[in-house]
Amino acid sequence: MGVTVNSPIAHAELIATFKRAEADAAHKFGLIKAAANKGPKAIQAATETAAKAAKRRDSFAKKLDILGGEPQGLSVAKPTA
């Protein structure tokens, strides 16, 4: 038998994955500022990478919402670029 989606273990793993994806997205958005001095191609690459990271983060946030809403102390705010 596998772990069901509603089990506490699966929920905890999803929260941990979301937190990693959230931190990764914030880091990638920060890289856009660092790429500003390197030219338009670097900015474009950093922007595309940040968009992918934000999409992953939002996907995990949606899964958490389906499981029962936003857990206490967990922010699902989207960083601004």
Task: Report pTM.
Answer: 0.67
Q: Where are the domains of the chain?
A: 25-70
User: What CA–CA distance (Å, rounded) separates 9 from 6?
Assistant: 8
Half-sphere exposure of 4 (CA within 13 A, CB side): 4
Other CB atoms within 10 A of residue 53 CB? 21
What is the full per-residue pLDDT of the chain (81 aa) written as tens digits?
444 456 777 788 888 999 999 999 999 999 998 898 899 999 999 999 999 999 999 998 998 888 775 554 555 554 444
| H-only helix segments in the chain | 8-35, 40-68
Angle at 2 between CA 67 and CA 52, to 5 degrees: 50
pLDDT at 19 (0 to 100): 93
In degrees and rounded to multiples of 5, residue 72 shows phi and psi of -60, 135
